[in-house]
Structure 1
Amino acid sequence: QLMRLLQETDVLITSGAVSMGSRDHIKPVLEEIGTVKFGRVCIKPGKPTTFATVMIPQSQSLSQSVMHKKLVFALPGNPASVHVCFKMFVEPALKKFSGVSDNFQCQLPPISVQLTEDIAMDAERPNMARCTVYWDKASQKFHGYSTGSQRSSRLLSCKSANCLLRIPQKNGVMRKGDMCKALVIDSLIPDMPPTVDCHMASSGHDELHSHCQCGSHSATETHRERVLQNKIKIGILTVSDRASKGIYADKNGPVLVQAMKEIFGEECIENLQVQVVPDEDKRISEWLNKWQQEKVDLIITNGGTGF
């Protein structure tokens, strides 16, 4: 069955049938038909994750066939393990395989996060903990909290996660206020009110801590519901001589407007201004200074950067 699938695909991803015990069925097959590059990873969750390459003959003509290298990712069966390992191993490889030449662009972006709660460490393996991260204006740092129980079978831990915290392999606990490395896997949340301590209990419960006052919001609220507590102001400035004179329409501005609405949700945007100005320093400065005085949270310019 694997050979048939490999004839039809460039990359094969399996889920389940890899384990640390007698139910490790995929790896022996891959060892027989190809080359296993690694069969264990030192992270939690996802230790049995396996990667292999298989050379498959594919005909180019009636008399000639060429060997093609196929990639096989064998992921564990538990949903959180699949989620984490897909983000860490499969997604970067697919970007590279699809033609992205810059290795940095293929990787998950790393950031530093200040914890808003205590998180237990594991002495056996580093833990890629699912967490929710937001930008805190007061401290000018990313703040993050666990999405609850980190059991590999608990898919709910992935629902509101936008980062993977790299919890070190140690005994003990990382304390609230400690800095921790993280990998970004989804859109980050804009600033949340610094007076609101919104984080989930790391004990595994989905309820917010009893001292956390968030109105009627529950721990399973979506990112956009959290952003509603502090709506965002956006300014989009298109710099173009011809567009400012009406010679042709500004097409970039509407595209950026739509992108902002998709990212933040219309209900989370307090004010969205779009302006088109000529390629002149004075006019550009006027609008940038105006928006700064109006305390616009996000300013996006396009154009005016040529040589």
Structure 2
Amino acid sequence: MRTIKLGSSTLEVPVVAVGCMRIDSLDKAGAERFVQTALEEGANFFDHADIYAAGKCEEIFADAIHMNASIREKIILQSKCGIRKGMFDFSKEHILESVDNILKRLKTDYLDILLLHRPDTLVEPEEVAAAFDILESSGKVRHFGVSNQTPMQIQLLKKSVKQPIVANQLQLSITNATMITHGFNVNMENAAAVSRDEGVLDYCRLNDITIQPWSPFQYGFFEGVFLDNAKFPVLNQKIDEVAKKYEVSNTTIAIAWLLRHPAHMQPVIGTMNIDRLKDCIKASDIHLTREEWYAILLAAGNVLP
């Protein structure tokens, strides 16, 4: 699979990340088949979070991949922390405890990337910085990033944090693309899209932060997928038309649409279906034309000024 550098780091990562939030839906044999297929297809970047099934997903993954030193060298592991029941917590103590528990569940002694999950409004940047310094110096975490954060929230962290922020995991799909579409409506009185993210797309590009789109097939907030959905007839007709041209599935085109953007994004796919996994990976080889990219954008109901 094609690779990109993650943010400003030298770490080469596949352009498609395998999200493991639903791996607990598979039985033992199914989980083993899934992770083995991912590796065979070159998808060796696995995304986790300590809240996925209360940590059970990390345990299932470690067992499914038969984690050992040899396997660990062949994969890239990312996990997230900071969400607790009824609150968000970026305190030094919670970050350090969370990482220790993540490593234990994944049966490894280090993470390639740690992301801070949903923004904690009570964050004290100096505490995050202290935690990151300990994690880096101990070798427990090699790279750091965030999830669902605006430019100003990242800037606040960078007030104290010295490590580069290499990734920002954000909700983005063809139907949830306001971070893209609001850029068309600068100085427009009746703008079709309002910026609610402080220009995070351009900020990440300017600061060499890799955007990792999550839920790349969802519309709304986990309301469902837009592919083959009767609510989106025009969009599906256009995606199917483009898919026919390239002789791939509509799933492949939905991911290729994200990969076509010059921000060099790394979509995080959440499927546990092996055929859909392979279809997502095929997007690495598809380069949509400018005309195709915009046609799909407009078919989703977006309007150019």
Range into which the TM-score falls when normalised by the shorter chain: under 0.3
Determine which structure has the larger strand proportion and give its number: 1
TM-score by length of 2: 0.24
TM-score normalised over the length of structure 1: 0.24
